[in-house]
Structure 1
Amino acid sequence: MRVSKEELVAVLAQFNPWWRGESIADLPRWRRAAFRELHTWLAAPPAPRAVMLSGARQIGKTTLMLQAAEALLGAGVPAANILYATFDHPILKLAGIDAVLDAWREREPRAEGPEYLLLDEAQFIRDWGTWVKHQVDFRKDRRIAFTGSAMPLVEAAPESGVGRWHTIRLTTLSFYEYLQIKRLQLPELPKLRSLRDLFDWAPADFYRATELGQDYVGHFHEYLLRGGFPQTAQVDSVTQAQRLLREDIIDKVLKRDMTALFGVRRVLDLEHTFLYLCLHDGGLLDMVDLCSNLEVKRPTAQHFIELLEATHLIYRLAPYGYGKDVLRARFKIYLADAAIAPAVMLKGKAILEDAAALGVATETAVFKHLFARYYAQNVRFSYWRGKREHEVDLVAEVGGELIPFEVKYRAQHTGARELKGLIELCQAKRIARGYVVTKALDDFGPMQGLPLAEDADVPTRIMRVPAPLLCYWMGAAEQSASETSGAGA
């Protein structure tokens, strides 16, 4: 559709205040861990590629793009050579990318040096994959970063994307980032480069961390209720935070994005599918039960689940293993954030009084933190089920090594009797170390007296780590890894 250049210029001028010599209003000083990676790919690209920020709605992708623009301006890049445009805006969506670039250059003649194109919600650009491919291949004078709230950005044209863009996948805020964005002043916990370092601690170190961690527990529970979304983290009340989260998910993702991006017409059935998954967060997906309860056919339900994963609302974990057994097995479902289920199901603060619901929320948060910390290292996550039906919640395959995590978020201290699955897995696979995520701060430290496999050369070491501390350290390690080089679990 034809849009006048005057209209386009007026819209672009609003989005690019630096063209008028003005600063970016209300831009947070604090930066997420992903900022450094994004800035590197724009300022000094390791390879001739565009960079894609992929993640759910309302997790800070736009803020990261504007912070990158601010950093480029601070480094001396001419204002005229930086364009920010969001294709969620109806005028820009109607006009198309080529008309937007023409209007930019009519408003701001090019200065010397590379051009920087910061394109928000790029899934609304017509034939976006072909366009980006062409830009990367033939416009070496341009550096492009683009965002998307849906995986069609990756899947619509995979052959175009190979070698053309580098993906930075954003999760919701880590517990560490949540504390930073709220500017809370808490006792500083000991720094950990890796959870492996805990095995070298002395008893006094565990006691000190337990004492310092007391102030973190209440904030961790509120984090589980509010969620890791910058907007919900900063509003006054938990009730208001959950209302905003519910509106963003139900109204904007399920009802708008699913129709606009995927052509979904049976929105009510899709919403019911998502509500079913909210009720079964952290559990094994029973497709027969889902289809029976919701009265939908299996291919339809399967399609809906794939769409929910595409819009970053859920994660799917396969069981540990390879081949046909895995293909036939049931997936484990985690929501993208622990606060989604209580917000969508209108549970409010009730999960704090429900031990089972609080345990599920904690397990979801633990997985999200581990995923955020290690996804860039091509870590494979799965769950494990043994021949005796014993299970392990999470198994990370890091550099050929299996590292299991079992979440036991309950009042009782954890003993070997509660860890039959973890012990069975460690014996069967000769695993060197594993972790149990606990609730009580004094349920912390190495476990003693575990049964060993008969032919084990070295005993398996199991470390109990309270969930608030583990999530804090995982988030802090992610931040540190963005500045230096990260370490494993």
Structure 2
Amino acid sequence: MKVSQEELVAVLAQFNPWWRGEAIADLPNWRRAAFREFNSWMTAPPAPRAVLLSGARQIGKTTLMLQAVDMLLRSGVPAGSILYATFDHPLLKLAGIDAVLDAWRAREPKADGLEYLFLDEAQFIRDWGTWVKHQVDFRKDRRLAFTGSAMPLVEAGQESGVGRWHTIRLTTLSFYEYLQIKNLSLPPLPQVKSLRELFDWSQSDFYRVSELAGAYVGHFHEYLVRGGFPQTAQVESITQAQRLLREDIIDKVLKRDMTALFGVRRVLDLEHTFLYLCMHDGGLLDMGDLCANLEVKRPTAQNFIELLEATHLIYRLPPYGYGKDVLRARFKIYLADAAIAPAVMLKGKAILEDAAALGVATETAVFKHLFARYYAHNVRFTYWRGKKEREVDLVAEVNGEVIPFEVKYRAQHTGARELKGLIELCEQKRISRGYVVTKSLDDFGLMTGMPKASSEADGDMQSAQIMRIPAPLLCYWMGATELSVDE
């Protein structure tokens, strides 16, 4: 079936109102933190590459592109030199990229200067990888941005795209971004450029910030339940927000995308696998138990796990270390957002009264914030297990330094007794500092009286410095500044 150029022009005209001199409708005033990086790649790219915006559905990729379009128009770029097209649209998908570009130029003749192409859901473009590489190599007059909700496995079997596109991976909203979208009036918190700054704070600094942060706690708990998706963040009813989230994940990703992109036919088994992971968020993945409970074979279950990771619904963390032991060990699973499990499992706000569930949701949120801030800096994230089943929730390896994070989101203050795993890891690896993510706002500051960690190299005794940070503050700072753990 062939789509006529007239039909394509009509569709493209709807998506590109600036061709008619009209403003982009319903463009929000707030911007994702990634906008600065994305816009710089479109206006003054540091290298001749396309830009891939990668991330789950409904997290703001399209909005980010339209905000960049708006910025280009305001800077004087001719309207006809900018094309936005989404290949989620059946006619554009059917016609193909070349026909879409021909229709664009039939409607808007080429002007002098650069052309800007913004292509949404590019995984539906046939042989998209080859096409993008050809554009980067041979069309120096074009700047190209494209999005994908399920890109990693689509690349399988194609040549490597290294050197052809720069990937900006979007997670769900950070706590800071969530507060900006909600347009809340809260007492301003001090900026922290590096977590290391906290080790130089005085006790009065901790007291002062703890008092300011009191207004943030309730919003942090609502953020955990409502979720970091822009659409659900702005819905008044939490019940309605969770229903929308559940429909987007179950109906659009599991039932539609998995079938369209990866040919999944056993959708019910895939859904059951995802529900199993929702029940074990933040835990070690026991493939034997999963297979026994769901009555699926290990290769099938393994394939489902990889598909869920490819569509940005889960993260997998390997254990700390290298070699065969790591390859044989179990992965730790985190959902893409803390609100997914309560929404999918129909729990509503019940997790706020369930200390264990609230702790899991907080750990998931903490990991997502760490990942979002540092993944572009080649930080390797793992978890650690030592003697007597002692564990450290998250370990970041950056520039040769090992930095552990332990989440203790509970009412009791955190002491050395609750941190045996963290202390053991610091002693084994001679780690100088680590972080404990706490619940109470007055459980904030440098821990004192920590056991000494011995140095085998020179026989002296040195104590690892452990900083306690309340979860709302850590998540706020992760999203609010260009924070760095290694400066």
What is the TM-score normalised by the length of structure 1? 0.97
* Equivalent position of 1:142 in the other structure: 142
Task: Tell me the alpha carbon deviations over residues 350-391 of structure 1, each in whole angstroms, 9 at most, x when there is no partner.
Answer: 000000000000000000000001001000000000133210
Q: 1:384 to 1:219 in 2, by over 3 A?
A: same
Equivalenced residues, count: 483
Task: Tell me the alpha carbon deviations over residues 71-99 of structure 1, each in whole angstroms, 9 at most, x when there is no partner.
Answer: 11111111000000000001100110000
- DSSP-derived class of the 1:463 partner: strand
Asked if the contact 1:130/1:160 (under 8 Å) is kept, the reply is no
Q: 1:158 to 1:424 in 2, by over 3 A?
A: farther
- DSSP-derived class of the 1:388 partner: helix
CA distance in 2, matches of 1:388, 1:359: 22
CA distance in 2, matches of 1:191, 1:384: 31
Tell me whether 141-150 or 456-465 shows the greater mean CA deviation. Answer: 456-465
* Equivalent position of 1:464 in the other structure: 468
CA distance in 2, matches of 1:138, 1:71: 26
CA distance in 1, matches of 2:221, 2:194: 24
Asked if the contact 1:129/1:153 (under 8 Å) is kept, the reply is no
Q: CA deviation at 1:158?
A: 5.4
The one-letter amino acid of 1:474's match is M
- DSSP-derived class of the 2:140 partner: coil
Asked if the contact 2:281/2:333 (under 8 Å) is kept, the reply is yes
Percent pairwise identity: 84
* Equivalent position of 2:225 in the other structure: 225
Map 1:232-271 onto structure 2 (within 5 A): 232-271=232-271
* Equivalent position of 2:187 in the other structure: 187
CA distance in 1, matches of 2:341, 2:471: 19
* Equivalent position of 1:216 in the other structure: 216
Asked if the contact 1:118/1:146 (under 8 Å) is kept, the reply is yes
Asked if the contact 2:452/2:461 (under 8 Å) is kept, the reply is no
Q: CA deviation at 1:487?
A: 6.0
Q: CA deviation at 1:438?
A: 0.3
Asked if the contact 1:338/1:361 (under 8 Å) is kept, the reply is yes
Asked if the contact 2:384/2:392 (under 8 Å) is kept, the reply is yes
Asked if the contact 2:129/2:155 (under 8 Å) is kept, the reply is no
CA distance in 2, matches of 1:310, 1:213: 36
CA distance in 1, matches of 2:238, 2:393: 29
Asked if the contact 2:96/2:125 (under 8 Å) is kept, the reply is yes
Asked if the contact 1:193/1:487 (under 8 Å) is kept, the reply is no
* Equivalent position of 1:50 in the other structure: 50
- DSSP-derived class of the 1:161 partner: coil
The one-letter amino acid of 1:366's match is V
* Equivalent position of 1:394 in the other structure: 394
- DSSP-derived class of the 2:387 partner: coil
- DSSP-derived class of the 2:163 partner: coil
Q: CA deviation at 1:157?
A: 5.2
Is residue 310 of structure 1 aligned with residue 314 of structure 2?
Answer: no
Q: CA deviation at 1:100?
A: 0.3
* Equivalent position of 1:79 in the other structure: 79
* Equivalent position of 1:476 in the other structure: 480
The one-letter amino acid of 1:188's match is P
* Equivalent position of 1:351 in the other structure: 351
Q: 1:153 to 1:118 in 2, by over 3 A?
A: farther
- DSSP-derived class of the 1:213 partner: helix
- DSSP-derived class of the 2:389 partner: coil
- DSSP-derived class of the 2:453 partner: coil
Task: Tell me the alpha carbon deviations over residues 404-440 of structure 1, each in whole angstroms, 9 at most, x when there is no partner.
Answer: 0000000000000000000000011010100000000
Q: CA deviation at 1:457?
A: 5.2
Asked if the contact 1:408/1:414 (under 8 Å) is kept, the reply is yes
Asked if the contact 2:195/2:485 (under 8 Å) is kept, the reply is no
* Equivalent position of 1:12 in the other structure: 12
Q: CA deviation at 1:188?
A: 0.4
The one-letter amino acid of 2:405's match is F
* Equivalent position of 2:125 in the other structure: 125
CA distance in 1, matches of 2:166, 2:82: 20
Q: CA deviation at 1:195?
A: 1.2
- DSSP-derived class of the 1:146 partner: strand
Q: CA deviation at 1:196?
A: 1.0
Asked if the contact 1:81/1:110 (under 8 Å) is kept, the reply is yes
Q: CA deviation at 1:462?
A: 0.2
CA distance in 2, matches of 1:370, 1:298: 31
CA distance in 2, matches of 1:78, 1:58: 29
* Equivalent position of 1:64 in the other structure: 64
Is residue 488 of structure 1 aligned with residue 486 of structure 2?
Answer: yes
Is residue 432 of structure 1 aligned with residue 436 of structure 2?
Answer: no
The one-letter amino acid of 1:187's match is P
CA distance in 2, matches of 1:303, 1:287: 12
* Equivalent position of 1:105 in the other structure: 105
Task: Tell me the alpha carbon deviations over residues 275-310 of structure 1, each in whole angstroms, 9 at most, x when there is no partner.
Answer: 000000000000000000000000000000000000
Asked if the contact 1:129/1:157 (under 8 Å) is kept, the reply is no
Asked if the contact 2:453/2:464 (under 8 Å) is kept, the reply is no
Q: CA deviation at 1:154?
A: 6.3
Any stretches of 5+ residues in structure 1 without a counterpart? none
The one-letter amino acid of 1:22's match is E
* Equivalent position of 1:412 in the other structure: 412
The one-letter amino acid of 1:473's match is W
Task: Tell me the alpha carbon deviations over residues 28-83 of structure 1, each in whole angstroms, 9 at most, x when there is no partner.
Answer: 11111111111111111111110000000000000000000001111111100000
CA distance in 2, matches of 1:370, 1:230: 20
CA distance in 1, matches of 2:240, 2:259: 27
Task: Tell me the alpha carbon deviations over residues 109-146 of structure 1, each in whole angstroms, 9 at most, x when there is no partner.
Answer: 01110110000000000000010011111111111000
CA distance in 1, matches of 2:188, 2:366: 21
